[in-house]
Homo-oligomer: A and B are copies of this chain.
Amino acid sequence: MSENLKLSPLAPKTGFPKLPVISGVTFSSHAAGIKYKNRLDIMLASISPGSTIAGVFTRSSTRSNAVLDCQEKLDIPKNKEKGFAFFVNSGNANAFTGEAGNQSVKSIVKVLSEIIKIPKSHIFTSSTGVIGEPLPTEKIVKSLSSLKNSLSEIKISDAALAIMTTDTFPKGSQTSVIIDGKKVTICGIAKGSGMIAPDMATMLVYIFTDAKISQPILQKLVSNISAKTFNCITVDGDTSTSDTLLIAATGKSEASELTSQKPLALKKFQGGLEKVMLDLSHQVVKDGEGATKFIEINVSGAKSKKDSWKIGMSIANSPLVKTAIAGEDPNWGRIVMAIGKSGAIAERDKLKIYFGNILVAENGWESPSYNEKLAADYMKKQDLIISIDLGIGRFKSTVWTCDLTHSYISINADYRS
């Protein structure tokens, strides 16, 4: 896991951001020895009574026990007098571990419920790591008391470390918005570096805000924003069985409740939430296994929204495109190939392809103004923008990915060894 991995060259130069305290949320982490010794591998977020919780999950048909458990719990009516908790372990995904895996989730939730005095249906858990190996439930259960005893509102950065697997840096983001003259704060942490492809969130993400907001509105917001952030990133096109995004809104801000009657305030909050989710999703790509380039792909002029997304993802997932970018080769023919294979409607002679501002191809061929030397220089940059104008409609999407390098092979050919 992360111990032996070199920091991604795309990691934020400024390190982990200073995240603000969210009133009503405390964190703790612990080294339970699930897979490695002396490494934080479990974390707890304790959330005050009266909060609202929403979530988005993988749609994998082989999703993990923890994901199934979270999905069930979102629908159970909540006791307003009681708090909530998010519990996460890294090192083991507890996925495809049969009925025993299900019992592990239940045991952890039961013991945690007794220790922190929060109803079982208010406790949401996630597990990330290797699939198919039994979760060392006892080690986790034994550590729950110390988790409870070390809860603190300033320990979110340790929580970000505890949820990492092959990540080379912890991921955090924050912002605030002013609603009716009062501050509403949003912050979040995420993990993810491989097995990243949309089908919801494709990683673990925990977001906290002091906003006052009802569950249905919060749920709708995160679902919509996921569609244009976490569902628009890919590292390898592989979808995890454990993908989870959970958000807790404590309502402790002095700003008034965000409701559909106040569309401007709601929009402002949505903007802040989108900023945090977009930043976290980009950080996940920037920690893509073996990544050396961060690539934004803009597709416009499509016949439908879905077509623009499909073409973006077809380019973003193409091993031939990703290896060409790793080799700093402006091989736009492979982009033509990836558009062609996407299954979306495209007309060869109406396509325009750009690397940054360089018009590469138009009218079914290389542009007369195209200069391969300039394009080759552009490909040397660390952050690249590839834009496709399909020229046949008005829909567009943006997706993000990284290149495919030798390190991806090295990391994944011996992940378990």
Selecting from A151-159, A223-231, A360-368, the interface stretch reads A360-368
Indicate the size class of the contact surface on chain A.
35 or more
B97 to A240, Cβ gap below 8 A?
no
Cα(A337)–Cα(B236), bound, Å: 13
A327 to B61, Cβ gap below 8 A?
no
Most buried by B among A93, A334, A346: A334
Selecting from A18-26, A79-87, A112-120, A315-323, the interface stretch reads A315-323
Within 8 A of B (CB), among A330-354: 331-334, 336-342, 344-349, 351
Contact surface of A with B, Cβ cutoff 8 Å:
58, 60-63, 93, 95-101, 130-133, 194-195, 197, 199, 236-241, 317-320, 323-324, 326-327, 329, 331-334, 336-342, 344-349, 351, 361, 363-366, 404-406, 408-410, 412-417
- List 8 tightest A-B contacts by C-beta distance, closest first: A131-B333, A98-B365, A327-B413, A62-B340, A60-B340, A239-B341, A323-B412, A132-B333
Q: Which of B197, B331, B342 contacts A341 (CB 8 A)?
A: B197
Please give me the residue from chain B that is nearest to A403 by CB atom. Answer: B413
In the bound complex, residues from chain B placing their C-beta under 8 Å from that of A406 are 406, 409-410
A95 to B336, Cβ gap below 8 A?
yes
Chain A interface mostly: loop
Q: Which of B364, B405, B410, B417 contacts A329 (CB 8 A)?
A: B417
Cα(A93)–Cα(B326), bound, Å: 23
In the bound complex, residues from chain B placing their C-beta under 8 Å from that of A131 are 333-334, 336-337
Please give me the residue from chain B that is nearest to A132 by CB atom. Answer: B333
B365 to A97, Cβ gap below 8 A?
yes
A132 to B365, Cβ gap below 8 A?
yes
B415 to A96, Cβ gap below 8 A?
no
21 contacts across the A-B interface (CB closer than 8 A): A61-B342, A62-B339, A96-B364, A98-B349, A98-B363, A131-B334, A131-B336, A132-B366, A133-B366, A237-B317, A240-B337, A319-B319, A319-B412, A320-B412, A323-B409, A324-B413, A326-B413, A327-B414, A327-B415, A329-B415, A406-B406
